[in-house]
Chain A
Amino acid sequence: MVAWRADAQRAFHFCSQFGAACCGLLAASAFAADRYSLDAVHSIPEFEFKHLGVTTQTGRFDKARGTVVLDRATRSGSVTYEVETASLNMGFGTESPDSAGYQLFEVVKFPKITFRSNNLIFNQNSEVIGARGRLTILGVTKPLTIAVNHFNCSVNPILKKAMCAGEIKATIMRSEFGMVKYIPGISDEIDVSVPIEAYKD
C-alpha cells in the first residue's frame, strides 16, 4: 500500500509538470487491468527429468494457450494456462496411445493440464516475480507456486504491439499427482520451464 502511494505520488508529480492531458492517460493506465493473450508459438512449455539417474532429458508440449490479467497499479492479476496433453513431443517421432509418454500423461482420459492463479506476486517495481496457484495433472489439483523470472513489459520492436514476457520456472513431484509409473528410472522430480510472451488484447 505504501509503495502504491509512492507510485501515485510520482504520477501526480509527473502530471503536475506535464499537464492534464498526460495525467488523463496516466490515470487510465494506472487503474485499468490489462488482458494479455499468450503467443502460442513462443510460449511452449518444456519439462526436464532425470533418466536412469544420469542424463537430463527434455520433453515438450507443443500446444498451450493462456491469458494473463495484469493490474500493475494495484499489484494484482490472474493467469489461466492450459496445455493440450496430446501435443506431447519427446523427439522420438509421433506419439501414439501406445507410447510411454501418452500412457504416463493418460492423454485420452486427461486431455488437459491446467494452471490457474489469481494471486500473482509482485516486487516493489510492480514486476511479477511469481504466482501462487493450482496445477491440475491427471485430474489431480494441487497448490503450486511458480517463479517468474525476467518479467518485462514493453513493445515488440518488430510487431509494434504491447507485450509482457517472462520465464516461468517450477518444480513438481509427479507422484503427488498420482503419476508414479517408471519412478525412479524416470525421476519423480520434474523441472518445468515456460517462456511466456503475451500480447495485450
Chain B
Amino acid sequence: MKKIGLAGLLAMLFAAPAFSAETYTFDPEYTIPAFEVGHLGFTTQRGRFDKTQGKVTLDFAAKKGAVEFTVFTKSLDMGSKAWTVHVSSEGLFNVEKFPTMGYKSDKLIFENNKVIAAEGQFTLLGVTKPLKVTVNHFACGPNPINHKFMCTGDITATVKRSEFGMTKYIPTVSDDITINVPVESYRD
C-alpha cells in the first residue's frame, strides 16, 4: 500500500470543499420526517418525528455530495398521547435507549444538476444497514420570501423494520415502513 504523507492528505481534504462544495443546513420546521405503516392489514397509519437536524454538502461541478441526518426519537408524535407513548416504548422505537436514529451518505447520485438519490447507511435501534433513498422534486434557488439560497427535495425510502430488530406486532403492524421526508436546506 502506498503511503500518503500527512501534508498531502490534508491538502486533498481541503482542496475539494474550498473550491466547489457548499454546505447546506436543514430547516427543521420544513424537514419533518413522516412514516407510514400498515395497520391490521386495513389502513395506512402515519407517524411523525418533529425534531431533526441535518446537513448536506453539494458539489455540483464534481456531481458529488454527502448528507447527515439525525432524528430525535423522543419527538415522536402519533397524534394521540397514549399511542405516542406506546409506539415510543421498548419493542418499538425504544426512545429511552435509542434517543436518535439517522441516515448518513457520502454518495449522492446526480442526474444532470439534480440529486435523484443517495446510497448510505440508516441507523435504527442502534443497528446500521445500507439504505438507498430516492430524492424527488430536487430544486435549488433563492427562497422567494427570505431570499436565502436553498436546496430542497422530497425524500422517500422503504425499510423493513425487522432488519433493525424491530419485530414487535408483525404482521398486525406491517414490517414494511414507508418513509417520507421533505427537506428544505439553506446554504451556510
Interface residues of A (CB under 8 A from B): 40-42, 44, 46, 51-52, 54-58, 60, 62, 89, 91-93, 150, 152, 154, 156-158, 163, 165-167, 185, 193, 195-197
Contact = CB atoms under 8 A, between A and B. Distances in A.
Contacts of B46: 44, 46, 58, 60, 193, 195
A185 B143 CA distance: 10
B48 A42 contact: no
Chain B, interface size: which category? 20 to 34
A150 B29 CA distance: 32
B137 A152 contact: no
The main secondary structure of chain A at its interface with chain B is: strand
Interface in B136-176: 137, 139, 143-145, 152-154, 172
A52 B39 CA distance: 33
A195 B184 contact: no
A49 to B, nearest CB: 10
B154 A52 contact: no
A55 B79 contact: no
B83 A54 contact: no
A102 B50 CA distance: 18
A154 B41 CA distance: 11
B80 A40 contact: yes
Contacts of A52: 143-145, 152, 184
Interface string B33-71: 010000111111110101000000000000000000000
B34 A54 contact: no
10 contacts: A55-B30, A55-B152, A55-B183, A57-B32, A60-B48, A89-B79, A150-B43, A152-B42, A185-B145, A197-B42
B22 interface: no
Given A41-B83, A91-B77, A93-B50, A58 B43 contact: no
Contact of A58 (B32, B152, B184): B32
